[in-house]
Amino acid sequence: MFRHYMQNLFDIVPEIDFYKGYDYYLHNMENYSKALLATLKSVKSKLPILRNMTETEEYEGLRMITQTLRRMMHTIGGEKIADLSYRLEMALLNEDKDLNNKIFEYLITLEDLADRMEELIKKLPIQYTKTDPDKKDSYFNYNFAKTKEFIDFSNDFIEKKII
């Protein structure tokens, strides 16, 4: 019953195969939820960098971004996004002439995915252990202010061409 209920929650995000991610985390929903939140934070932190890459056509660090997202998506069951990340990485390595358009499509896909993942995380019924009595019933109580600070910090590095 629980797996069926959870599968229905994941209908919001068809790019993520609930069963693959759930199996990867050995049927531990708390760990799987933490991985989903970590993936969401990672995607949100990389979106401004990808936007900047499409504007400046400077692709330094793109391979690292695609590899990171590919591995994270693979662990949570996001095989479609992992495959898209791999294809973008191959386009970069092969110096594809249409790379900027592919990055833009990737960016739009990730923005849409991040919005729907936020909805999913808000709906996940997570229970905390007794070691964390101050936490509430949802992992989505995360403060994105630090993520925004990191994004601004990363943008400064990109503008100075340090990354």
Largest CA distance in the chain: 55
Q: Is the pLDDT of residue 115 over 90?
A: yes
Mean pLDDT within 100-112:
94
pLDDT tens digits for 84-99? 999 999 999 999 999 9
pLDDT band at residue 39, thresholds of 50, 70 and 90? very high
Nearest of 133, 15, 126 to residue 72 by alpha carbon: 15
| 8 A C-beta contact, residue 76 and residue 102 | no
Give the per-residue pLDDT at 141.
Answer: 57
| pTM for this entry | 0.74
Residue 147's pLDDT is 65
What percentage of the chain's residues is helix, strand, coil (to nearest 5)? Answer: 75, 0, 25
